[in-house]
Amino acid sequence: MRRIFVALTLLILTAFAASCANPTFAAKNRSPGTVKISFKTGSTASTSGKAGVRTANMKSAGKSRSVTKSSRTIVANWDNAIASYAITLHCTSVSTPDLTGTATNPVADSDGFAFSSVAAGTWNVSVTALNSDGAVVGAGSDEGLKLESGSGTEVGITISETQTGTGSFSFTFQFPQSSADYVSVQRYDMSNAAVGAAVVPTIENIGDGIDRATVAETGVASGTYRLALTFRKGGEGGPVVGTYSEALNVWDNVTSDQWLGSYGIFLSTRNFSESEFASTNASLGDLAAIVNESSASLTPGFSSDVTSYTLNTEGTSIWFIPARSSGSSQRVQYQVNGTTGTWTDLAVGASTEILSIGSTVYFLVTAPDQATTRTYSVSIISEGSSQITVSYGSYQSLSFSPGSLTMPLGEGLAIGPNFSNGTNWKWYVNGSLSGDASSYTFTPSSTGTYVIYATVTDSTTGTSYSGSMTVTVTNVNNLLTNPGWTNGEGTSTTGWAFTNGGDGWCGGTGLFTNDYSYVSSYDWCTFTQTVDLTAAGYTAVQLANAGTVITFSVYVRDGSPYNNGSHFYLELALRDSSDTSLDTVSLGAIVSWSDEPNIYSSNGWTKETVTYTNTQGFAIAHVQVKGMGCDHIYWGGCYGAWFSHPELTVTLP
């Protein structure tokens, strides 16, 4: 409760000492023989030794009383709610009419009003605080004042808020938009029983990443309540990111709409800071790669904002140690070669299992708010395997592998050396200088034939080398769904059916910069996709034309680290509208792993193609493409044929 002090100075004239008879009221009358009543409102607020608790101390006529409130207490600005005071003097020693008067709020300390002709006797004093509608918002009194003839008396009256009827509340709070997106407010009485149902206020974004909400109610029984504000991330069913217990005081005929802040300052809004909520930080602090007991470098170098990496290595013992962001309680899990299986939790400082070349490891980081996540991936590839490689050749030449390539428009081609002692690199495209770093990414803007020419100096011997490759860029109407095997953030098999053999498929960086690729294991691994050509816009007449050509191609590379060779098999199956088989063409053979392989790592990436020409006028409607691969040595892990960027095209006569 707040206290308002009313100082009454009663000066009694001897001439009226006989009885309490017939007094009159005169405003601001300060002449001798009057009773002067002046108002003084005020309070002091001090912080107690207990953190988070505020004590308001009010003194009245030499007495001290205190009320303890939470540091987050919702109150009314009671001083502003009081419009006037009604004062009554009642004589109890004899029967006489009461003395009454009113004063507006605020009352200046130097002003007041006076009762004249107040007789000696015993008096009771009562003061009622009123709002602008004349409703009672507070009251105070004192009794048994002895007024002697010819003397003056001063008395202090404590006016307290009344809590016998109803009042209202309306409080506002703000919080960072990134910290929560749902809040509920439950009110409890002093016995901790819930009052009504929880309120879910409307959240309004006010800009600068800040959300605001207001909770209001009228006709509330006056009293003291506890509020539980529960914040969630991810909607009503999301995890709780913060719960706060706040005090609410409801007084008669006033609206509690202020937060009592530090040093007793009234605040219209409670501002929750980001630090008061569970963190939304789902970024790793670091990601260490260990190869054969030594630290290895990721490409690119680790940055918490970069989520996709490559580890180029020839090592046989590979593992990773993710580090959480400083001071966070993140959950870190990992999974190998996919994100749809079971995630394995990693304790702080723990490492993954030992992995092999051809694997892709994924790290799922969950922020302390239990809702925000981020996924990181690292593809482990043989050095230089997922790019066009450049090697020192004879007679000061650079050898590109492969020396020529056809690529679709809209893709990028990463070219880099398989040696580290090169300096003063220069890259030219059709004679124009296009780069001077140790690697180069070719991203054509139009179709055509391009010659990529490079020069470099051996930093050890000072010898200069140069060489070139030819790239043909075509505009391909690829009918396959998700030919890049990516969802824009990582590897994805959407639209495809993958069947595992041996240790299963492993993923890695694709031949082109926008793609991913897959490498097979020691037993045949298969990928397939069925395409409805009529749904793609081709008519039955067009497809049945004897000159119609259907082509299935995919880029293939040997995955063995020592040029041992791998097996691959491609198939194009033609079907009618009822899915009845019409014909099948293929490249390669499904043989034993020990048979002679049909691709070697020395070949680099090659575009392998299966073509079907509809010379028999079949009513083709559907086609199924299939790719298969396995290794030649029967090694555990993924050392078979690599596949990247499959294409399906239809050429009409």
User: What was the pLDDT predicted at 647?
Assistant: 95
Q: Mind listing the pLDDT tens digit for each residue in 350-359?
A: 999 888 776 7
Confidence of residue 204 (pLDDT cuts 50, 70, 90): very high
Average pLDDT over residues 17-24: 39
Residue 67 predicted with pLDDT over 70: no
Q: What is the predicted pLDDT for the residue at 385?
A: 42
What pLDDT, in 10s, does the model give residues 124-171?
A: 888 888 988 999 988 888 888 887 776 666 667 778 888 899 999 999
pLDDT of 387 above 80:
no
In tens, the pLDDT along 617-638 reads 999 999 999 999 999 988 887 8
**Amino acid, res. 616:** Q
DSSP, collapsed to helix, strand or coil, labels residue 14 as helix
Tokens of 85: 């005071």
Long-range contacts of residues 95-98, Cβ cutoff 8 Å, at least 24 apart? 96/19, 96/20, 96/21, 96/22, 96/23, 97/22, 97/23
Burial readout 355-394 (b: 16 or more C-beta within 10 A, e: otherwise): bbbbbbbbbbbbbbbbbbebbbbbbbbbbbbbbbbbebee
Which residue would you say has higher pLDDT here, 149 or 227?
227
Average pLDDT over residues 359-385: 80
Name the more confident of 419 and 342: 342
Looking at residue 100, what is its pLDDT?
A: 86
Range in 99-108, 129-138, 163-172, 303-312 with the lowest mean pLDDT: 99-108
What local confidence, expressed as pLDDT, does residue 604 receive? 76
- Whole-angstrom distance, CA of residue 22 vs CA of residue 607: 118
- pLDDT reported for residue 106: 67
CB-CB contact of 559 with 642 (8 Å): yes
The more confidently predicted of residues 370 and 595 is 595
The pLDDT value given to residue 405: 85
What confidence tier does 1 reach under pLDDT thresholds 50, 70, 90?
A: very low
DSSP letter string, 438-459: SSEEE--SS-EEEEEEEEEEET
DSSP letters of 591-640? --TTSPPSB-GGG-SEEEEEEEE-TT-----EEEEEEEEEESS--SSS-S
Pick the most confident of 67-71, 453-457, 598-602: 453-457
Can you give the pTM of this predicted structure?
A: 0.45
Burial degree of 465 (CB within 10 A; 0-12, 13-18, 19+): buried
What is the three-class DSSP state of 274? Answer: helix
Q: 446 burial class (0-12, 13-18, 19+ CB within 10 angstroms)? A: exposed
pLDDT of residue 358: 67
Q: How many residues does the chain have?
A: 653
As a whole number, mean pLDDT of residues 250-275 equals 87
Quote the CA–CA distance of 140 and 110 in Å, as a whole number.
22
444-465 residue pLDDT tens: 889 999 999 999 888 888 889 9
